[in-house]
Amino acid sequence: MAFKILITGGAGFVGSSLALKLKAAYPEYIVFVLDNLKRRGSELNLPRLKEAGVSFVHGDIRNKGDFDALDKDFTHIIEASAEPSVLAGLNGSPDYLIDTNLNGTVNCLSFARICNAAFLFLSTSRVYPIRKLEDCSFEEKETRFNFTAKQTVAGVSEKGISEMFPLDGYRSLYGTTKLASELIIQEFNEFYGLKTIINRCGVLTGPWQMGKVDQGVIVLWMARHFWKQKLSYLGYGGEGKQVRDVLHVNDLFDILDIQLHTFDKYNNQIFNIGGGIETSLSLQELTEYCQQITGNTIPIEKVKENRQADLRIYVTDNTKISALSGWTPKTSCLEILTDVYEWLKGNEHSLKEILK
């Protein structure tokens, strides 16, 4: 059966990448994307989507009425829309954040119920509480922090953070809206019989991500090296030893492809999905890759003080999803960063005003 798929946030980095990959892999599938085009640079994806045969609808998930014009026969909905900044709402009103990431998700769920569509939700590793993550046992190496083997909290090991990590504590308003959405999704699954999957993603990246300081750090770092601009190591003594794992959007597509086509196997479950320890790097190491690939060395300021919602280290433990599906990330850090560099080089004119 040919799928009919709606991707919300579908002109954004993740949404558009998934839409294009779906149409390339399954030309017979009907793919729609819904997006409000708020994120600067998302308009650059519209010609790419049109050329691939993806239908674009200008709409906002915050407005229930924007779903009225859509067909009611979608087989699957991928909820990839979000205000993705961890700092969102901390220095101003949280209204847009909550309206988008919580109320918007409820609207998407209600529409999925009307369609009786399977619902795949892209959540975030930021649902895990900051203080508990900061209290994990770690060791400081020459270029990075690492989790140690011996831990006192469940759900953390040398491999990273698993789905068993405790959820009590504060996590940022962004993380809270995503966790609240997860809870409501589980209610829709139980009481309305809606098929649902929740994926808690780590750092996602790749070409066509419009990186900023508070979201999209991999592209931001490469872009600053590409155009020879300044950067800063923020917090933890200003040494750049903070660590994240990184997942190429192509690897994300591979696991979502599996889930979409064997949905019942993953129904009503939550999975951590990220690059894992093998595809993790510190800011120091990220800088070295960028210098190696671009040939440029740029000034990097050291700011010792931590910012709100900072984390020393987060690495995804993919054990659960890998055991169930056989999926593991394929793209190395060097390959990811080279891919981003080639994209910047090939689209320098159109990207300069957005990323520089």
pLDDT in tens, 224-262: 999 999 999 999 999 999 999 999 999 999 999 999 999
pLDDT in tens, 301-325: 999 999 888 999 999 999 999 999 9
pLDDT in tens, 187-220: 999 999 999 999 999 999 999 999 877 779 999 9
pLDDT confidence of residue 353: 86
pLDDT in tens, 13-65: 999 999 999 999 999 999 999 999 998 889 999 999 999 999 999 999 999 99
pLDDT confidence of residue 142: 98
Lowest mean pLDDT among 74-78, 88-92, 127-131, 151-155: 88-92
Question: Who's near 161: CB < 8 A, 6+ residues apart?
Answer: 125, 128, 133, 155, 272, 314, 315, 316, 317
Confidence check: pLDDT of 109 > 90? yes
Full 3-state SS string of the chain: CCCEEEEECCCCHHHHHHHHHHHHHCCCCEEEEEECCCCCCHHHHHHHHHHHCCEEEECCCCCHHHHCCCCCCCCEEEECCCCCCCCCCCCCCCHHHHHHHHHHHHHHHHHHHHHCCEEEEEEEHHHCCHHHHHCCCEEECCCCEEECCCCCCCCEECCEECCCCCCCCCCCHHHHHHHHHHHHHHHHHHHHCCCEEEEEECEEECCCCCCECCECHHHHHHHHHHCCCCEEEECHHHCCCCEEEEEEHHHHHHHHHHHHHCHHHHCCEEEEECCCHHHEEEHHHHHHHHHHHHCCCCCEEEECCCCCCCCCEECECCHHHHHHHCCCCCCCHHHHHHHHHHHHHHCHHHHHHHHC
Amino acid at 192: Y
Q: What is the mean pLDDT of residues 281-297?
A: 98
pLDDT confidence of residue 90: 84
pLDDT confidence of residue 7: 98
pLDDT in tens, 259-280: 999 999 999 999 999 999 999 9
> Contact at 8 Å (CB) between 211 and 163?
no
pLDDT confidence of residue 302: 97
pLDDT confidence of residue 87: 83
Amino acid at 72: K
| The length of the chain, given as a count of residues | 356
CA distance 4 to 59: 18
pLDDT confidence of residue 1: 80
pLDDT band at 172 (very low <50, low <70, confident <90, very high): very high
Q: What is the mean pLDDT of residues 54-79?
A: 97
**Whether pTM exceeds 0.85:** yes
pLDDT confidence of residue 145: 98
pLDDT in tens, 116-154: 999 999 999 999 999 999 999 999 999 999 999 999 999
